[in-house]
Amino acid sequence: MKKLINAPEDVLVESLKGVAAAHPELAVDLETHVITRAEPKAQGKVAVVSGGGSGHEPLHGGYVGRGMLDAAVAGEVFTSPTPDRVQAATKAVDRGAGVLHIVKNYTGDVLNFEMAAELAAMEGIEVGTVVVDDDVAVQDSLYTAGRRGVGLTVLLEKLVGAAAEEGQDLAAVVALAQRVNGQGRSMGMALTSCTVPAAGKPTFELPDDQMEIGIGIHGEPGRHREPLAPASEIARQLVEPILADLDAAGPAIVMLNGMGATPLIELYLMYGEVAALLERAGVQIARNLVGDYITSLDMAGCSLTVLKADDELLRLWDAPVVTPGLRWGA
């Protein structure tokens, strides 16, 4: 395992120390692993909280700031944070107008945030929850854990953060979150596995001439493995399952995301391929992101997220955002 770390068990806290050193505009609690804005929002505003396992940086801590999250809770690598820490974040940012929990659909995240919401209710804090489940690689079914929450989480945090920032109430913010979740889909692939520091070796072995299609963001193996293909073919394998699941004709916000070890030159190349396919299918890309926004440690690969947009979503998208990971308009 080759990583810029000291002891594997210290990775999370030491990385948070670096975040604290780099971003005086954030308050980083090294005990609870909760990141909040140094300057909290005013009383009476809905607070937006997200969190999950670490290893997806800049998600979630990098999205704390004006126009996006009020707090992020960082779990151990790939492990949902515990309920007491989610509750600590919830209490820290509640401004009397309720708190939205943005949860990615994994059993661990759902259970821990559920328990946290129970704790919050006991203390009289109103909590709304959205469970993001946008990953078309996973067949959805009533009888399974359902689809995973992946790339759409980034777009949702931005849009919902803008709505909360402009003073929308909890019901409106929750409704917006549900709506965004309903009209966004993602699909990912990997060229290599990632290596969890505590495990010390790659989660899966992928021969030099193979790739995994349909991976999530935790080094889980994908839906299937196949021979390494050119970017144009990979693009097709990302675009088609999304469009099979979502009628995305019309304006859209599109993200081509790197998994952590994919250089930008490749991401742009893939974006060119993907944008051409989408546009041929009638998707009008109104806004886009190309870069590392929700990663999987040192995995090489990428994911595509397509969110159907409208004037309201584009307005919220363009609203100012000032976070380490996304910044514009201010």
Partner 1 sequence: MAAETVDTAGLHDWITRFGAAVAEKREWLTELDSAIGDADHGANMARGMSAVSEKLASSAPAAADDLLKTAGMTLVSSVGGASGPLYGTFFLRMGMAAGAVQELDAPALAAALRAGLEGIVARGKAEPGDKTLLDAMSPAVDAFDAALAGGGDLAEAAKNAAVAAATGRDATLPLVARKGRASYLGERSAGHLDPGAASTALLFESLDATIAAG
Ligand X SMILES: Nc1ncnc2c1ncn2[C@@H]1O[C@H](COP(=O)(O)OP(=O)(O)O)[C@@H](O)[C@H]1O
Enzyme catalytic residues: 56, 218
Alpha helices in 144-280 (DSSP H): 152-165, 170-182, 231-245, 264-280
Is residue 221 at the binding interface for ligand X, with CB under 6 A as the rule?
A: no
User: Phi and psi of 267, rounded to 5°?
Assistant: -65, -40
Q: Indicate whether 108 belongs to the interface with ligand X (CB under 6 A).
A: yes
Q: Does 262 bind partner 1 (CB under 8 A)?
A: no
Helix, strand counts (H, E) of the chain: 8, 14
Minimum distance, C-beta of residue 20 to a second copy, in the bound complex (Å): 8
Per CB under 8 A, 292 contacts partner 1: no
151 binds, among Mg ion, ligand X, partner 1, none (CB under 5 to 8 A by kind): none
Site track 189-228 with partner 1 (rule: CB under 8 A), x = hit: -------x-xx---xx-----------x-xxxx-xx----
The correct pick among 13, 44, 96, 107 for binding ligand X (CB under 6 A) is 107
CA 227 to chain CA centroid, Å, is 28
Among positions 51-90, residues that touch ligand X (CB under 6 A) are: 79
Q: Identify which of 242, 247, 245 has the alpha carbon closest to the alpha carbon of residue 255.
A: 242
Question: For Mg ion, what does the binding mask look like between residues 56 and 85, x meaning CB under 5 A?
Answer: ----------------------xx------
Angle, vertex CA 213, rays to CA 237 and CA 81, nearest 5: 125
Supply the minimum distance, in Å, between the C-beta of residue 166 and partner 1: 33
Q: Which does 61 bind (CB under 5 to 8 A by kind): ligand X, partner 1, Mg ion, none?
A: none
Which is nearer to Mg ion, 76 or 292 (by Cβ)? Answer: 76
**Smallest separation, CB 243 to a second copy (Å):** 18
The rounded distance, in Å, linking the Cα atoms of 234 and 215 is 13
Dihedral angle at the C-alpha atoms of 250, 287, 300, 63, nearest 10 degrees? -130
Q: What's the closest the beta carbon of residue 149 comes to Mg ion, in angstroms?
A: 14
Site string for partner 1, 127-156 (x = CB under 8 A): --------x-xxx---xxx--x--------
- Of 246, 310, 248, residue with least CA distance to 275: 248
- 249's contact among ligand X, Mg ion, a second copy, none, with CB below 5 to 8 A by partner kind, is none
Give the contacts of 196 (CB within 8 A, at least 6 positions apart): 55, 77, 78, 203, 219, 297
Indicate which of ligand X, partner 1, Mg ion, none lies near residue 112 (CB less than 5 to 8 Å, by partner kind). Answer: partner 1
**20: which residues sit within 8 A by CB, 6+ positions away?**
26, 28, 30
Tokens found for residue 142: 């009533």
Report helix angle 311-318 to 152-165, nearest 10.
Answer: 80
Whole-angstrom distance, CA of residue 113 vs CA of residue 152: 19
Residue numbers of the site for ligand X (CB under 6 A)? 79, 107-108
Residue numbers of the site for Mg ion (CB under 5 A)? 78-79
Residue numbers of the site for partner 1 (CB under 8 A)? 53, 75-85, 106-108, 111-112, 114-115, 135, 137-139, 143-145, 148, 196, 198-199, 203-204, 216, 218-221, 223-224
